[in-house]
Structure 1
Amino acid sequence: MSIHYYQLFKKSLGFMILFALLCAGTMAALSYWVIPKMYEANVSMMIIKNPDSGSEYFYDELIAGREIINDYREILNTDSVLYEIKNEVSRQITGDSNISLDDLGKRINFESFSDSRVFTITYRDTDPYHAQIVVDSIAKVLKTRIVALTKVDNIAILGAAQLPVEPVSPNIVTNGVIAFMLSLFAAFIFVIFIDYLRSMNKKVADYKIKTNLP
């Protein structure tokens, strides 16, 4: 960095920090009071080991279980299953039937784990009670549909979803820090731009003086 820009940065540091703090405070306030808080509930499910198979088949069943989990993920994303979940939810939550299948699918997250037959389904909602009810409904419908399709009851729900207490988003601290850093960078760019315009205006003025232009 040249001496000129160093001096410019030093001279404008107070303004840049004040601007960044203002933007960070605004973002934090928006995150706290304006941006809807999202709560996440989750339920875990497991592919049950075949009781008739010996321990020597455990690894093969583990591999097969992970492949089956991928099939279950695809089944969950089908419109027919999402529609059934929507109907199940509407029987428990009045007025929640207006949610679209596309929006319902986007709020569902399906996460599986390596070397495990356990997978977790999470759902986010602005209402913690809705999140809990919906994710339990998802597990119930998915289990029923899988048993109906495969004719084998090899899936278990590992307990009901817990009511989420703290929202998972927005993250006020993270949003504030990101806003501060971006605003600080934007303020420095603005300062450089203003300095560039002043430099150009000075050059134009000096040129007019030298050439006796009006």
Structure 2
Amino acid sequence: MKEETISLGELFSILKRSKWLIVSLAIIAALIAYLVSSYVIQPTYEASTQVLVAPKETQNNMIDSGQIQSSVALVNTYRVIIQSPAILQPVQENVIGAPNNISGLISVNSEQSSQVINIKVQHTNPVLATDIANEISDVFSKEVPELMSVDNVKVLSNASVPMFPVKPNILLNTAIATVLGLMIGVAIAFLKVVLDRRIKTEQDVENILELPVLGTIPVIDKVEMQSQRQSKVKGEQVHV
């Protein structure tokens, strides 16, 4: 069987014939994503706080570069300590309504070569997320001197109650669903053409059956055929 190819013109023709199918699927997908994101998925809020790993000042109120580099090197260690049971267990006990899996709610990060540690807490309850974030920074700053034998952590900023959710992103979800709907519509349109093995044109005979076309029978419109018959009958009556 000959290899079937589709020209660029045929591609546009297929898309044009199936435009309503493609558009409909895109609209349906976008509508479903919007409704699910707005009314089914529970919104998630994020509260964030910051702690500073600050080297101690010397007697001359001076801080040398070695102390700063030491503080930066400690940041990675402190990030691990913040997410350890030594910090999270007291937080869970101190915050009313705190879930058992606090570690799954928090993320701890810092910029490269920075002495600032960002603590973020995500929860469906914005007030609870704020309370947990602030309690983590407080407990951490109090426990570090005992754990590390050095008092070099300060709370840089407390978390405030977030007003708007960070998840779900309704606009992004709707846009992604729209694109997926378009892709599915285009795929269905091409599959209908590829899987349709009916012979409709002379070209189909050559491509599918690999036979030469010897002749064709023109399609005569029904109205035109009746008109020809009437004209023939009238002609015969005139001759009679």
Distance in 1 between the 2:124 and 2:143 partners?
Answer: 27
Partner of 1:212: none
Q: Which ranges in structure 1 are unaligned for 5 or more consecutive residues?
A: 208-214
| TM-score, with structure 2 as normaliser | 0.74
Partner of 1:140: 138
Secondary structure of the residue aligned to 2:18 is: helix
Contact map agreement 1:23 1:180 (CA 8 A) in 2: yes
Distance in 1 between the 2:78 and 2:55 partners?
Answer: 16
1:46-65 equivalences under 5 Å are: 46-52=52-58, 58-65=64-71
Residue 10 of structure 1 pairs with residue 8 of structure 2 = no
Contact map agreement 1:43 1:135 (CA 8 A) in 2: yes
| TM-score, with structure 1 as normaliser | 0.83
Q: Which ranges in structure 2 are unaligned for 5 or more consecutive residues?
A: 1-6, 210-240
1:88-127 equivalences under 5 Å are: 88-89=94-95, 92-93=96-97, 96=98, 99-101=99-101, 104-127=102-125
1:1-214 equivalences under 5 Å are: 2-52=8-58, 58-89=64-95, 92-93=96-97, 96=98, 99-101=99-101, 104-198=102-196, 200-202=197-199
How far is 1:201 from its partner? 4.9
How far is 1:54 from its partner? 6.6
Contact map agreement 2:51 2:155 (CA 8 A) in 1: yes
Distance in 2 between the 1:73 and 1:83 partners?
Answer: 16
Structure of higher RCO (CA pairs closer than 8 Å, 6+ residues apart): 1
Distance in 2 between the 1:194 and 1:55 partners?
Answer: 79
How far is 1:73 from its partner? 0.9
Larger radius of gyration: 2
Contact map agreement 2:57 2:63 (CA 8 A) in 1: no
1:187 maps to a residue whose letter is G
Q: Alpha carbon RMSD of aligned pairs, Å?
A: 2.3
Aligned residues: 197
How far is 1:45 from its partner? 0.6
Contact map agreement 1:43 1:161 (CA 8 A) in 2: yes
Distance in 1 between the 2:190 and 2:64 partners?
Answer: 65
